[in-house]
């Protein structure tokens, strides 16, 4: 939910239908000057009433996504005649605020009323607030975001909310949506436990499971302390240094962006993307299909581990994860 023009349909298209957008872009490539799928969202029209999508996610999970058009007439109807339909059986409400919006008070008033509707019909729903179009925010952006976040938390009363700053032009949108989807996956903790076992079996620093079409992070292994990465091995100062490697906090978002761009390049030369492996001077990365709906990425800092062994481990673990 959120005001008209705040960017709901754009983000939905980019996150859930990135593959479709890319196809459209390929088809139009001779007419579209920009190479960025985000810029295609400028062509989207206003959403009329509610657009519902059922997205098959991780095989048996169906993500039922309602994109509620934000024009005032629609908002008024959601809060009155359609109140029961809109706010019942909600798992997560995502409310989008345009950081540049002029009609802030009206925006907050609708938001408060939506929170009341949610409290009445789906009291257990999680609430995510996206302070969107952060690329347009004035500098310093972090201050602008913190101010807006505080304002939204105050408007939320006693409701628990999670606030993200997002933009379709960088990885922030992906980070927020990974968090949102993660709360909807019933067995995320079990998956994470299995991935941690798998990471230990591969002597990996980290193992990450991505959803196939969106490349959102489903689960990751828990961090393993350095020396236990190679049990039984005497630790040398060089090995200690490798084990203490620092992991970049935006690594998931950036990896996802890179892989999506790579998949895009593959589709342009009519090749299908299946897997890749990379051996750099200080780490090895292997990405491969884990199940019908997921890809797994293994990161290893131990130079004695062969990529063939990692691929074999993936093959052997597939049945367990399917
Ligand atoms: P309704 O369907 O009327 O409720 O609007 P909406 O919230 O679905 O808005 P929509 O997704 O149609 O986006 C409106 C405009 O905002 C489009 O021109 C998008 O390109 C633009 N937009 C969306 N996200 C961003 C963003 O992160 N940054 C910038 N600069 N523009 C954005």
Q: How far apart are CA 291 and CA 318, in angstroms?
A: 6
Structure confidence by residue, pLDDT tens digits, 142-173 = 999 999 999 999 888 888 899 999 998 888 88
pLDDT value, residue 18 = 52
Centre of ligand 1 to C-alpha 312, Å, is 44
More confident residue, 148 or 184: 148
- Please compute the mean of the pLDDT values over residues 263-267 and round it to a whole number: 77
37 in contact with ligand 1, CB cutoff 6 A: no
Q: Which of 125-134, 234-243, 268-277 has the highest mean pLDDT?
A: 125-134
Of 28-32, 57-61, 90-94, the poorest mean pLDDT is in 28-32
User: Does this complex have an ipTM over 0.90?
Assistant: yes
Residues in contact with 127: Cβ distance below 8 Å, sequence separation at least 6, in sequence order: 92, 93, 95, 115, 118, 156, 159, 160, 161, 162
pLDDT value, residue 102 = 75
Nearest CA to ligand 1 atom 14: 5
pLDDT value, residue 23 = 44
72 in contact with ligand 1, CB cutoff 6 A: no
Report, in angstroms and rounded to the nearest whole number, the Rg of the chain calculated over CA atoms: 22
Q: Which atom of ligand 1 is nearest to the CA of 132?
A: 27
The sign of the dihedral angle between the CA atoms of 243, 248, 249, 253 is negative
pLDDT value, residue 26 = 47
């Amino acid at each position: 939910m959120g005001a008209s023009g705040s960017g709901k349909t754009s983000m939905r298209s980019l996150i859930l239908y990135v593959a479709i957008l890319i196809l459209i872009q390929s088809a139009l490539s001779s007419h579209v000057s920009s190479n960025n799928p985000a810029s295609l969202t400028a062509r989207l029209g206003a959403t009329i009433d509610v657009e519902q999508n059922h997205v098959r996610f991780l095989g048996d999970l169906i993500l039922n996504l309602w994109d509620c058009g934000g024009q005032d007439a629609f908002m008024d109807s959601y809060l009155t005649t359609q109140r029961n339909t809109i706010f019942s059986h909600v798992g997560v409400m995502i409310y989008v605020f345009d950081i540049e919006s002029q009609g802030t008070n009206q925006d907050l008033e609708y938001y408060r009323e939506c929170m009341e509707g949610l409290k009445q019909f789906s009291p257990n729903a999680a609430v995510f607030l996206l302070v969107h179009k952060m690329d347009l925010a004035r500098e310093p952006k972090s201050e602008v975001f913190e101010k807006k976040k505080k304002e939204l938390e105050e408007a939320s009363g006693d409701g628990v909310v999670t606030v993200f700053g997002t933009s379709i032009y960088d990885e922030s949108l992906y980070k927020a949506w990974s968090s949102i989807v993660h709360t909807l996956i019933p067995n995320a903790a079990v998956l994470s436990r299995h991935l941690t076992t798998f990471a230990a079996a591969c002597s990996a620093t980290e193992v990450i499971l991505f959803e196939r079409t969106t490349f959102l992070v489903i689960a990751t292994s828990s961090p393993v302390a350095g020396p236990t990465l190679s049990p039984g091995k005497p630790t040398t100062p060089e090995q200690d240094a490798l084990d203490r490697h620092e992991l970049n906090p935006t690594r998931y978002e950036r990896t996802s962006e890179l892989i999506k761009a790579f998949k895009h390049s593959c589709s342009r030369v009519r090749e299908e993307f299946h897997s890749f492996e990379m051996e750099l001077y200080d780490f090895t990365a292997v990405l491969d299909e884990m199940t019908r709906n997921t890809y797994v990425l293994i990161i290893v800092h131990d130079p004695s581990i062969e990529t063939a062994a990692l691929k074999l481990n993936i093959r052997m673990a597939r049945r367990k994860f399917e």
